[in-house]
Amino acid sequence: MQGLYLVTPDWDDTPELLARTEAALGAGVVLLQYRHKTAGPAQRREQAAALLALCRRHGVPFIVNDHVELCLELNADGVHVGGLDAIVAEVRALVGPDKIVGASCYGELPRAIDAARDGASYVAFGGFYPSRVKRYAVTTPPAIVAHARAAVDVPCVVIGGMTPRNAAPLVDHGAQMVAAISSVYAAEDVAAAVRAFNTLFEHARFPV
C-alpha cells in the first residue's frame, strides 16, 4: 500500500459524504477509513454500507474505525484501532488473518513495534501538525518514520493536519501512506486534492 489514505469526516449529510468520497476514489485513493465518532448505530451502519459499496466499485479497500462488530457484519476489508481501543492481538484474533488491522501509534515507536508483532497490517503515527478535525498534542517527531521503517515490516502511515506540502518531508522519511481528512473533503476540487497528494509518491526515495 502506497499513496493517499482517506479518512471520512464526521458528516451527517450522507449524500454529500458519498459524492465527495466517490470523486476522491475516482482520483486514486489506496485505502478508505470510515470514521464518524458522533454517529449513532443506525447512521453508522447506513453510511458504512454505502461507502463499502462505493469502494467495491472502485476496487479500494474499505476499513472501519474502532467498530470491529460492524466490520464483521458488513464484511469490510478491515478495522483501525486506536491506542486506547481494543488491543491489536485481540482484534486480529476476531477478524482473522486476511483482514486489514491498522493501529494508531501516535509518536511512540515501541507501540508500533508491539502492534506489528501482534498482527497489525500497518502502523499510523501522528499528529505531526495541527488538525482541523482532531485535538491532540503536536509532538510527533518526523524522524520516527525512518526509525519505524527500520524497525517494523509493515507500512507506515502519517496523519494529523496533512497537506501535500507538509506531508512531503514525511514521505521523504519513508511514509508509505499519508492519511487526510479535511485537505480532501473540504477542498474545492476533491479530485485535484487527491492527485496532489499522490504526486508525493511518484518519486519517493524509499521503496514500497
Instruction: Count other Cβ atoms within 10 Å, centred on residue 51.
Output: 25
> How would you label 169-178 residue by residue, b for 16+ Cβ within 10 Å and e otherwise?
ebbbbbbbbb
Instruction: Give which of 97, 93, 100, 38 is closest to 71, Cα–Cα.
Output: 100
Catalytic entry in 20, 104, 121, 183? 104
Sign of CA dihedral 207, 89, 115, 183: positive
Report CA Rg, the chain.
16
Residue 135 in grid coordinates: 485535538
Catalytic entry in 35, 44, 99, 111? 35
Distance CA 169, CA 79 (A): 27
For the question of residue 104 being annotated catalytic, the response is yes
The full DSSP string for 113-144 is HHHHHTT-SEEEE--SS--SS--------THH
Catalytic entry in 45, 134, 149, 195? 134
For the question of residue 99 being annotated catalytic, the response is no
Cβ atoms 92, 117 nearer than 8 A: no
SS3 8: coil
Q: Which residues are catalytic?
A: 35, 104, 134
